[in-house]
Amino acid sequence: MFKGISHIGIAVKNLDASLELFKKIFELDKVHFEEVPEQKVRVASFVVGNVTIELTTPVSDDSPISRFLEKRGEGIHHIAFEVEGIENHLEICRNNGVSLINEHPVDGAHDMRIAFLHPKSTNGVLIELCEHK
């Protein structure tokens, strides 16, 4: 079951500078910071209305975000949907010809298991499925 949008991920080169900009725009006073070793990223997330925005920067040159920034520059990286039964959703996608970046869920931010669908199969949009552990 899809529960809704979990967050919108934005790839940034400089987390501190980007966060200062977003703090001014959205008058933020509460920001969550986290490093996700498995993804080789550092994340700053905050809520605007009822949507979580996740600023993500690489902590290593071999991070997927580092490759994204080299290829496309800063900007929207992915849209994440919270699901119940992530393994089942991956199986449904697989059975319907959707290419998966992650065949099985991996650890992500916010104590979630995550998996990405390849944008070549989803009209150019990188989609993340996520489920609370």
Classify residue 72 by its DSSP letter.
Answer: H
Provide the number of structural domains found in the chain: 1
Residue 38 domain boundaries? 2-132
Residue type, 51: V
- pLDDT of 23 reads 95
- pLDDT of 116 reads 97
CATH number at residue 111: 3.10.180.10
- pLDDT of 32 reads 96
- pLDDT of 117 reads 98
Blockwise average pLDDT, block size 10, the chain, 133 residues: 94 97 94 94 95 96 95 96 97 96 94 96 96 95
- pLDDT of 1 reads 85
